[in-house]
Amino acid sequence: MTTPLTPPPRKDPLKRTVSPTQPPVIRSRAALGLTAMAAEGRFALQTCAECGAVQYPPRDACSACLSTDLPWWDIAPTGQLLAETTVQTSVKQYFRERTPWRVGSVQLDAGPVVICHLHGDVAANARVRLRLLLDRAGQGVILALPQERTDHMADDPELRLMSSDPHLRRVLITDARHPFAPDLAAALQTAGATLIFAGEPENWLPNPNRSALEAAGAEILPLDVTDTKSVERMAGEIGGKTDILINTARFMRPGGVLARGGTGFARDEMEVNYLGLMRLAQAFGPAMCGRTADGVNSAVAWVNILSVHARTNTPGFGCFNASQAAAFSLSQSLRAEFRGAGLRVMNVFTGPLEEDWYQPLPPPKVTGPALARSVVSGLRDGLEDVWCGDVAKDFEERFCKNPKVLEIELGQEMGE
């Protein structure tokens, strides 16, 4: 059984905050495929299209037949632990600070033997379940876990470092007016977040979410992502204890370019959805990046809730989608900028939500609890890209097949 984490004592103000260090970063281009699969939580390895041999480690030509046609296929995440050792010291600063560190070799049921990190609850010679996870350098690595769930298994030190688990962490939901903010707060409370802050713009207007947020234990604070001073003020107050930031700020109106007549709403969309993200990142990013090695409640993740149409537009919400595309593009820059500190950027892509602005659209639509589940599970799994709901998953599949065909299809759907 894993020793359960306990709430950390209050920070000793006389002690220097530990600077983040990183596990080794350099990978071959082929091995970046592991990272890409881990970013979405898939357990996939190169599988030879000619002879079917599963490859490990990633390579440019098949180890059995030398074919260079090596697509990434999902394979059974199961295997048999062959050997293990516990590293007591290392020349790598990151591991040196975190020893003892358990590693092992596992014979996959799909064929190859892999070198992997080893969860503390895996017994000698046991059958194991494997997961492809992102380490704190943002690179894909394999972790072997016990086949069955064990008590407090998420608190395992190696697993904890590869996840963004909200348990015992402090979370900021940036817009308390988002229709799903109360569901997010409730799910985070259930997941063991110790503090939940909810930013509320324009407290001179009623906020129907207030009582539900307070019932979920959220503390409501003034925060308006369109106001630089407001964002700076709030970062000054809670930037040093924000471990997970979930950006729910969103301005949306229906309509493509011609339906709009003017750029007023588009400007508001860019102010909130794009520049708001930038203001938050400039104000909260540096403090969060400085605290990614700060113990049990270290800063760990930055979450953006984006429309799946950030990737390919539909004219029904054409102008809003353009602002989502801008935010998505910015999130890629942020991800790269945060990577050195080990702060993970997770984008949760959704189809239409079950709320007012999408009211005329037919189901399926994403509900508040479904979005909250995706956010919490994505954090626990340490993901970078999450596809929430049937529409988003279908979109992703079609996008991977042929983005141009998808663009044409989506344009026709909305044109009817």
Partner 1 sequence: MTDTLAQFAVEIASGAIRVVDLTHTLDPDFPVIILPPEFGQCARFRMEEISAYDHRGPGWKWHNIHLSEHTGTHFDAPSHWISGREVPNGDVDEISVENFVGPVVVIDCSAGAAKDDDFELTPEIILAWEGQHGRVPTDAWVLMRTDWSKRSGAEYLNMQSDGPHSPGPTPEAIRLLVEDRDIRGFGTETVGTDAGQGAHHTPPYPAHYILHGAGKFGLQCLSGLDQLPPTGAVLIATPLKIKGGTGSPLRVLALVPGGET
Least Å from the CB of residue 179 to partner 1: 13
d(CA 42, CA 73): 9
Nearer to partner 1, 330 or 406 (CB): 330
How many other C-beta atoms lie within 10 A of the C-beta of residue 189? 17
Least Å from the CB of residue 249 to partner 1: 14
Least Å from the CB of residue 241 to partner 1: 24
Nearer to partner 1, 9 or 206 (CB): 206
Q: How many residues does the chain have?
A: 416
Q: Using an 8 Å Cβ cutoff, are 216 and 210 in contact?
A: no
Least Å from the CB of residue 204 to partner 1: 4
Nearer to partner 1, 13 or 206 (CB): 206
DSSP H or E run through 141:
strand 140-146
Q: Using an 8 Å Cβ cutoff, are 278 and 302 in contact?
A: no
Give the binding site for partner 1 (CB under 8 A). 202-206, 224, 226-230, 253, 262, 264-265, 268
Residue with tokens 């989506």: 410
DSSP 51-106: T-PBPSS--SS-TTT--S---EEE---EEEEEEEEEE---SSHHHHTT-SEEEEEE
Which one, of 340, 332, 319, lies nearest residue 267 by Cα? 319
Nearer to partner 1, 268 or 394 (CB): 268
Nearer to partner 1, 233 or 380 (CB): 233
d(CA 196, CA 192): 10
Least Å from the CB of residue 142 to partner 1: 45
Least Å from the CB of residue 223 to partner 1: 12
Nearer to partner 1, 122 or 198 (CB): 198
Tokens of 314: 């539909």
Nearer to partner 1, 268 or 396 (CB): 268
d(CA 143, CA 128): 10
d(CA 155, CA 3): 7
* Cα 77–Cα 394–Cα 373 angle in degrees, nearest 5: 65
Dihedral sign for Cα atoms in the order 379, 193, 17, 142 = negative
* Cα 262–Cα 306–Cα 177 angle in degrees, nearest 5: 80
Q: Which residues pair with 196 in a beta bridge?
A: 171, 218
Nearer to partner 1, 227 or 407 (CB): 227
Least Å from the CB of residue 228 to partner 1: 6
Least Å from the CB of residue 254 to partner 1: 9
Nearer to partner 1, 150 or 228 (CB): 228
Least Å from the CB of residue 172 to partner 1: 20
Least Å from the CB of residue 261 to partner 1: 9
Nearer to partner 1, 107 or 203 (CB): 203
DSSP H or E run through 368:
helix 368-380
